[in-house]
Amino acid sequence: MLTARAMTEYRSELLRSLDERGFIHQLTDAEGLDALAQKQVVPGYIGFDATAPSLHVGSLIQIMILRRLQQAGHKPIVLMGGGTSKIGDPSFKDEARKLLDADTINANIASIKRAFERFLTFGDGPTDAIMLDNAEWLDRLEYIPFLREIGQHFSVNRMLSFDSVKLRMDREQSLSFLEFNYMILQGYDFLELSRRADCRLQLGGSDQWGNIVNGIELCRRVDGTQAFGLTTPLITTADGGKMGKTEKGAVWLNADQLSPYDYWQFWRNAQDADVGKFLRRFTDLPLDEIERLEALGGAEINEAKKVLADAATAMAHGEEAAREAAETARLTFEEGASGEALPTLKVEGEISLVEALIGLGLCGSKNEARRLIAQGGARVDGEAAGEDVAIAVTGDVRVSAGKKKHGLLTP
């Protein structure tokens, strides 16, 4: 019987570690998975659609749970959605995604792959991670045979009851037949991975619960295979905001989409109340050390934030990039100097302060830049600028937006 999480005392290292670090929201059969994880290597997968050249930090909890799976002696399967990206997941979206062509999807997959190599060990061993692409089987499906073999196991009534679908319908927003098929294809992915890689576990965010349950039911009905599902909680910041959204946009994992310095700054700027939660879920620090850090009060909590930023950046970009980002921040904030990792903009001659703020990515629009200047939040080489001044760039010029965002104009 499929049930939500029903126990908290786990015997397997896998579920104990996930529970201790706050990864478990729902489980389909806690006792069954706990027992299986004690007996054998459990292959588990998460699907990632290739709708952009990089994943962002909102996907990091899913990458980290695969890392925990491998650390506990089990096998991570990274499933790239080369097939499903051609449709788009409707889960909790206000509108349909723009359809991408095959070349764009393949280029996105090639770009995304680089990030996973920082977090997982890939290879041919029993617990080594593998990466598959569901286009391998979805692109070859024949419609009528697929309907006969797979479609009969899905109830439209039940699919309409899922929150991800109800949300769109309650808002009277269009849900195309194309998107409606996504949950059937995701269920079929689980069946294929069960057959191809002996996969027994699907992991995902809380918005994927219905899709995961569909896949488990399909494995049982078609092949008589016992499978399991686990969802992670929705990660929000202490003020209720969505994790990974900033004034500058998404916090990308690939360095060519977001510099390691900006990535470091994202973690350094975490709210005090989020530090312990983020350390548990997004670093490998021991739990006792995390408890010590999150107990720091007053200005000392900033040291914990630096530890968080160092550890998270080292994991995503390497130790050297983390050290450079931390040193740049130290020079910028503690000594007022300019570090090499700051965002830079090459300028010939002069540039207005508004254009500099936009060009460095410190403001998203001219109106935002003008408001910042009017409020006294813009500085040029540490001096407040009360108007949109022209900046002569004959040497390096440091431009600041508030106390925490800085950039460098270079001739």
| pLDDT tens digits for range 258-267 | 889 889 989 9
d(CA 163, CA 180): 13
Strand, helix or coil for residue 25: coil
d(CA 366, CA 354): 6
The predicted model scores a pTM of: 0.78
Query: By C-alpha distance, which of 320, 304, 249, 227 is closest to 271?
Result: 304
Which is more confidently placed, 173 or 110? 110
How buried is residue 233: exposed, middle or buried, by Cβ count under 10 Å (0-12/13-18/19+)? middle
Q: Which residue has the tokens 């992991």?
A: 203
pLDDT of 6 higher than 50: no
How buried is residue 355: exposed, middle or buried, by Cβ count under 10 Å (0-12/13-18/19+)? middle
| Average pLDDT rounded to a whole number, residues 10-23 | 96
Strand partners, 122: 129
Q: Which amino acid is at 128?
A: D
Does an H or E element contain 76, and which?
A: strand 75-81
pLDDT digits (tens, 9 = 90+) for 323-336: 999 988 887 766 55
- Alpha helices, DSSP H, located in 142-233: 143-149, 156-161, 163-170, 177-180, 182-197, 209-223
φ, ψ (nearest 5 deg) of residue 401: -120, 100
Residue 134 · residue 47 · CB < 8 Å: yes
Q: What is the pLDDT of residue 304?
A: 96
List, in order of start, the domains of the chain with CATH numbers: 13-232 (3.40.50.620), 259-335 (1.10.240.10), 344-410 (3.10.290.10)
Q: From the DSSP assignment, how many helices (H) and strands (E) are in the chain?
A: 18, 15
Q: What is the pLDDT of residue 338?
A: 56
Q: Which amino acid is at 122?
A: F
d(CA 261, CA 382): 20
Q: What is the pLDDT of residue 63?
A: 97
